[in-house]
């Protein structure tokens, strides 16, 4: 049992949901992964602050949104995971150009709310299969747009539960890359958007979602793009050029629809997926000389 669970299980001030040995296959978009020792779903940002202020400094900590872009190994995770999805879900129009969004809000929802209010510039978020917290952490993008291009400010929290307001000036931001203060995590952001036409924005989102549905395997468990696009090229093109579409390891297969997606056909383990990622990487390197960089994070212990 996690040290946190042993020392703080009876903390009656906490209002969130605390569980032990939670199966992460329920919380990851690949539908694989072992159990986590301690799993916490905070009631709100204030409750999250209290939880973190009690957390031992040596406790392993990982943040989970919708569980996309993530592979949890079959042996699970021996520390604490904080799940923001569905709980840190506040979203509010601040004025005619600014939208407050908490970290657990799904990116497509943020896109739709912005469009509903007649704000332009956030439609691309509908193509990101994760939460705003995850999108901020990696500068996620889709359809040519990138998260930090529309961020005015963020609110972060540290291991002690202290909150801070920051701007992009506090971070080194690049393609699928955000580097900033250590041991701080995003809990909310303010998006600065242009004034647009609500009907046009909603139509644009519908068109982009249709495009995503026809070009990506949205009906099968996947974690989004597995590899980053190398400069001036596309990972999917390189993978397909090596004849890897449809290649499988156990129940994990390279999608026939989009070569930079690996799908769980129903029986995949995290081990199958990790082996297939390695196989694809090595084949592309040997045949094209390109060393593809993973976009997916791998955490946890091998079984």
Count other Cβ atoms within 10 Å, centred on residue 195. 11
CA dihedral 233, 235, 240, 243 (to 10 degrees): 120
- Given a contact cutoff of 8 angstroms between Cβ atoms, the answer to whether 132 and 107 are in contact is yes
Q: Which of 292, 181, 301, 295 is nearest to 233 (CA)?
A: 292
Question: Any catalytic annotation for residue 78?
Answer: no
Q: At residue 169, what are phi and psi to the nearest 5 degrees?
A: -65, -20
From 25, 68, 188, 225, active-site residue: 225
**DSSP letters for 217-237:** -TTS---S-SBPPPTTS-HHH
Tallying the residues shown for the chain, one arrives at: 303
From 102, 201, 274, 295, active-site residue: 295
Residues 6 or more apart from 206 whose CB is under 8 A from it? Answer: none
Question: Any catalytic annotation for residue 85?
Answer: no
275, with CB counted inside 10 A (0-12, 13-18, 19+), is middle
- Given a contact cutoff of 8 angstroms between Cβ atoms, the answer to whether 51 and 161 are in contact is yes
H helix count then E strand count, the chain: 7, 20
Question: What is each CA distance from 108 to 61, 112, 159, in whole angstroms?
Answer: 27, 6, 29
From 176, 184, 198, 228, active-site residue: 176
Strands 172-174 and 17-23 come out as unpaired
Structure tokens at 87: 């709980």
Question: Any catalytic annotation for residue 59?
Answer: no
- The C-alpha atoms of residue 117 and residue 96 are separated, in whole angstroms, by 8
Catalytic residues: 176, 225, 295
């Amino acid at each position: 049992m996690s040290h946190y669970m042993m020392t703080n299980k009876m903390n009656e001030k906490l209002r969130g949901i605390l569980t032990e040995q939670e199966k992460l296959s329920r919380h990851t978009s690949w539908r694989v992964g072992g159990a986590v020792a301690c799993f916490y779903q905070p009631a709100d940002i204030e409750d999250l602050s209290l939880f973190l202020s009690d957390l031992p400094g040596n406790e392993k900590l990982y943040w989970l949104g919708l569980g996309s872009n993530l592979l949890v190994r079959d042996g699970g995770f021996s520390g604490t995971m904080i799940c923001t999805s569905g709980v840190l879900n506040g979203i509010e129009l601040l004025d005619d150009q600014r939208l407050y969004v908490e970290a657990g809000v799904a990116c497509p929802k943020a896109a739709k709310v912005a469009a509903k209010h007649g704000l332009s510039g956030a439609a691309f978020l509908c193509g990101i299969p994760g939460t705003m917290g995850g999108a901020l952490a990696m500068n996620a993008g889709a359809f040519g747009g990138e998260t930090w291009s529309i961020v005015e400010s963020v609110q972060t929290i540290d291991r002690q539960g202290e909150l801070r307001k920051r701007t992009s000036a506090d971070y080194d931001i690049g393609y699928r890359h955000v580097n900033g203060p250590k041991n701080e995590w995003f809990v909310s952001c303010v998006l600065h958007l242009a004034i647009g036409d609500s009907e046009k924005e909603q139509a644009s989102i519908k068109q982009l979602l249709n495009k995503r549905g026809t070009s990506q395997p949205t009906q099968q468990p996947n974690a989004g793009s597995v590899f980053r696009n190398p400069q001036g090229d596309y990972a999917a093109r390189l993978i397909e050029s090596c004849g890897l579409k449809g290649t499988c390891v156990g129940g994990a297969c390279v999608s026939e629809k989009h070569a930079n997606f690996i799908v769980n056909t129903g029986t995949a383990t995290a081990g199958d997926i990790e082996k297939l990622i390695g196989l694809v990487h090595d084949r592309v390197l040997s045949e094209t000389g390109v060393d593809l960089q993973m976009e997916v994070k791998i955490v946890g212990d091998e079984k």
